[in-house]
């Protein structure tokens, strides 16, 4: 099975004795961490920004963290923030950096020299499945229809996306088409800089389908602009149960664009444990459920060795696919 899925877990309550960073716990021992500074390797309004701020909002509103601050540090495809965290490690024990699948892709392609092994792995926290969508008036109504159209006219059946060739949307399209029995290197992929351009291309017929995140696909479908013909979840997602999975259509492909948190190298073990404790307890709160539901996120929690194993597996699978596509 082609799968990048992180293990879904029931997050159990952590030990009763709260670990702290800095000042003692308050509110009857409820607070776990005094403060967190969130480092965001991209600009305001993006997925990383929303994840960091939503997580900080839930942690502070639930009383698990005393206060949260945020810093956007764009540059180098995320490499500037990674380099900063490594170079200033000793003074950054109070910082968590958000990241996601691109830390694997961009280290493989040499966008930046570091990789996840150069950081302290805290936890993978949420995910967004991928989706394949077509225009609302498209004759394509299923993945079988899309594959049949591709087989009839490979060069005239392009798939678009919002990332560069070799980027996330391209890789998802390749994963799906490979699992459908096609050569992913032969699939015509067209990148677009903006969502509006991609939608215009979809509606004009320049592309037959659009590879995008499931949360974005839901918004487009709710607006009546597209039909979702397949998602890369292992089963239908309750928040949009009309969207069929690739699996139920005979395409053995799963993918989740995880997001999670990293800390500076050399972070003391007690501080790492406190961060992990706060995040684990966050899942049990109404404050987190409110933020999660508003953003359409999927709860995914992996920490420690499980997070490392997941990242190493994703690195291997993505690396193999990128070599097959000629990007490595």
Burial of 140-178, coded b for 16+ CB within 10 Å and e otherwise, reads beebebbbebbeeeeeebbbbbbbeebbbbbbbbbbbbb
106-148 residue pLDDT tens: 999 998 999 999 999 999 999 989 999 999 999 999 999 999 9
Q: Does residue 1 carry a pLDDT above 60?
A: no
Spell out the domains of the chain, with CATH numbers in brackets: 2-127+257-325 (3.40.190.150), 128-254 (3.40.190.10)
> What are the structure tokens assigned to 122, written together?
């805290």
pLDDT score at 18: 30
Stretch among 71-80, 235-244, 268-277, 292-301 having the lowest mean pLDDT: 292-301
**Dist CA 5 CA 302 (whole Å):** 11
Residue 89's CB is within 10 A of a number of other CB atoms, namely: 18
Stretch among 2-11, 44-53, 201-210, 316-325 having the lowest mean pLDDT: 2-11
Stretch among 86-90, 167-171, 236-240 having the lowest mean pLDDT: 236-240
pLDDT score at 16: 27
Mean pLDDT over each residue of the chain, to the nearest integer = 88
For residue 296, CA distances in Å to 57, 67, 149, 190 come to 16, 25, 31, 27
pLDDT over 70 for what percent of the chain? 91
pLDDT score at 307: 96
pLDDT score at 121: 98
Contacts of 60 (CB under 8 A, 6+ apart): 66, 67, 68
> Quick one: pLDDT band at residue 57, thresholds 50, 70, 90?
very high
DSSP secondary structure string, 128-193?
EEEEEEEETT-S--SHHHHHHHHHH-TTT--EEESS-TTSHHHHHHHHHHHHTTS-GGGS-EEE-S
CB of 21 closer than 8 Å to CB of 94: yes
């Amino acid at each position: 099975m082609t799968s990048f899925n992180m293990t879904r877990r029931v997050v159990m309550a952590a030990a009763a004795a709260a670990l702290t960073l800095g000042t003692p716990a308050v509110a009857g021992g409820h607070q776990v961490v005094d403060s967190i500074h969130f480092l965001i390797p991209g600009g305001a309004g993006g997925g990383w920004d929303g994840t960091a701020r939503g997580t900080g909002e839930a942690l502070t509103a639930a009383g698990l963290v005393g206060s949260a601050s945020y810093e956007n540090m764009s540059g180098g495809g995320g490499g500037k923030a990674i380099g900063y965290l490594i170079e200033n490690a000793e003074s950054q024990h109070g910082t968590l950096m958000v990241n996601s699948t691109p830390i694997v892709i961009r280290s493989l392609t040499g966008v930046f020299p570091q990789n996840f092994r150069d950081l302290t792995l805290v936890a993978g926290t949420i995910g967004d499945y991928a989706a394949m969508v077509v225009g609302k008036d498209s004759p394509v109504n299923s993945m079988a229809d899309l594959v049949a159209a591709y087989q009839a006219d490979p060069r005239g059946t392009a798939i678009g996306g919002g990332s560069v060739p070799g980027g996330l949307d391209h890789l998802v399209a390749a994963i799906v088409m490979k699992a459908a029995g096609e050569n992913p290197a032969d699939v015509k992929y067209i990148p677009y800089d903006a969502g509006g351009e991609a939608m215009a291309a979809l509606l004009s017929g320049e592309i037959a389908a659009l590879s995008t995140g499931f949360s974005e696909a839901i918004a487009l479908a709710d607006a009546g602009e597209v039909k979702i013909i397949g998602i890369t979840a292992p089963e239908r997602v309750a928040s949009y149960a009309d969207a069929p999975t690739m699996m139920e259509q005979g395409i053995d492909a799963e993918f989740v664009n995880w997001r999670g948190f990293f800390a500076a190298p050399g972070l003391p073990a007690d501080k790492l444990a406190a961060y992990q404790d706060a995040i684990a307890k966050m899942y049990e709160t109404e404050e987190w459920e409110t933020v999660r539901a508003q953003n359409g996120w999927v709860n995914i929690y992996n920490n420690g060795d499980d997070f490392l194993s997941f990242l190493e597996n994703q690195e291997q699978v993505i690396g193999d696919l990128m070599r097959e596509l000629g990007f490595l």
